[in-house]
């Protein structure tokens, strides 16, 4: 399944004879072994959700969120190494701040995605640094249009209607494809995203996880808002109920 890159995987600046950059591929593996992050463009907003796997019950809840604010109007969800994700968030925040300062208006998401991609790509070109071990989903609701970009450790990025990265990305993407995004309201999207996270969560391998949810929509006036309180509980309960229903379907 995985080709061993012996000898060609010590520097990210070294190609293998097959034309692979093994360090970048290993960075992808860091993302793939981390909790799933999901982004969904709904009719009137964008939802981000992350399966924030918690390794110890001793941690305070929400102490290590995997959803970040990048300026007021852009949200970022991350899968992979959290410190790397924080570094990406910090750079993104600087870019957004700089843009706001110079242009007198909030940074368009397409521009920010390009800058984040440039950054992550830059770290794949020099032997003195290593690639970022995280993938990020960037979301905004601009001029009435929901937007979602996904940037991977190689620096490649696309604009998506819906996307997932992390351990259960295949299952999650399949679930997203089943949704009718053009008709889905952001408020319902929050619940659907929670449901996808719960359904893709592997109970056996990772017992305990926190659901990080965020929303940028017409209702929030384009502001990126971390979902907490009643709305979070509602989404979480919806997801758990759907899971039980699914489980009971299996008992035939």
Task: Please state the closest distance from residue 8 (CB atom) to another protein, in A.
Answer: 23
Q: Cβ closer to another protein: 123 or 198?
A: 123
Task: Please state the closest distance from residue 102 (CB atom) to another protein, in A.
Answer: 8
Task: Please state the closest distance from residue 160 (CB atom) to another protein, in A.
Answer: 23
Give the C-alpha separation, 228 to 230, whole Å.
7
Q: Cβ closer to another protein: 29 or 126?
A: 126
Task: Please state the closest distance from residue 94 (CB atom) to another protein, in A.
Answer: 5
Task: Please state the closest distance from residue 79 (CB atom) to another protein, in A.
Answer: 20
Q: Cβ closer to another protein: 97 or 221?
A: 97
Q: Cβ closer to another protein: 128 or 252?
A: 128
Give the C-alpha separation, 41 to 246, whole Å.
25
Locate tokens 């593996």: which residue? 29
Note the residues at the interface with another protein (CB under 8 A): 68-72, 90-91, 93-94, 96-98, 100-102, 119, 122-123, 126, 128-129, 226
Task: Please state the closest distance from residue 32 (CB atom) to another protein, in A.
Answer: 25
Q: Cβ closer to another protein: 10 or 122?
A: 122
Q: Cβ closer to another protein: 69 or 173?
A: 69
Give the C-alpha separation, 148 to 242, whole Å.
26
DSSP characters over the chain:
-----TTTSS-TT---TTS--HHHHHHHHHHHTS--EEEEEETTEEEEEEEEE-S-TTSPTTTT-SEEEETTTEEEEEEE-HHHHHHHHHHHHHHHHHHHHHHSSPPPHHHHHHHHHHHHHHTTS-TTS---SEEEEEEEEETTEEEEEEE-TTS-EEE-SEEEESTTHHHHHHHHHHS-TTT--HHHHHHHHHHHHHHH--TTT---EEEEEEEEETTTTT-EEE--HHHHHHHHHHHHHHHHHHHHHH--
């Amino acid at each position: 399944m995985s080709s061993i890159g012996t000898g060609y995987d010590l520097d990210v600046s070294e190609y293998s004879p097959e034309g692979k950059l093994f360090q970048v591929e290993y960075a992808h593996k860091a993302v793939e072994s981390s909790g799933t992050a999901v982004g969904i463009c709904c009719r009137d907003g964008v939802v981000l959700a992350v399966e924030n796997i918690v390794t110890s019950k001793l941690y305070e809840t929400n102490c290590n969120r995997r959803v970040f604010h990048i300026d007021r109007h852009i949200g970022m969800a991350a899968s992979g190494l959290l410190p790397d994700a924080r570094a990406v968030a910090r750079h993104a925040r600087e870019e957004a701040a700089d843009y706001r300062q110079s242009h007198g208006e909030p940074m368009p998401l397409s521009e920010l995605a390009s800058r984040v991609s440039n950054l992550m790509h830059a770290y794949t070109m020099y032997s003195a640094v290593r690639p970022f071990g995280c993938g990020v989903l960037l979301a905004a609701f601009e001029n009435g249009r929901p937007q979602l970009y996904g940037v991977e450790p190689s620096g490649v990025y696309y604009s998506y209607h819906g996307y997932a990265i992390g351990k259960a990305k295949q299952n999650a993407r399949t679930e997203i494809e089943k949704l009718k995004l053009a008709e889905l309201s952001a408020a319902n999207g929050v619940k659907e995203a929670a449901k996808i996270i719960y359904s893709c969560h592997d109970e056996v391998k990772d017992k305990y996880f926190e659901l990080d949810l965020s929303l940028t929509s017409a209702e929030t006036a384009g502001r990126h808002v971390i979902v907490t309180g009643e709305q979070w509980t509602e989404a979480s309960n919806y997801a758990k109920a759907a899971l039980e229903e699914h489980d009971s379907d299996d008992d035939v």
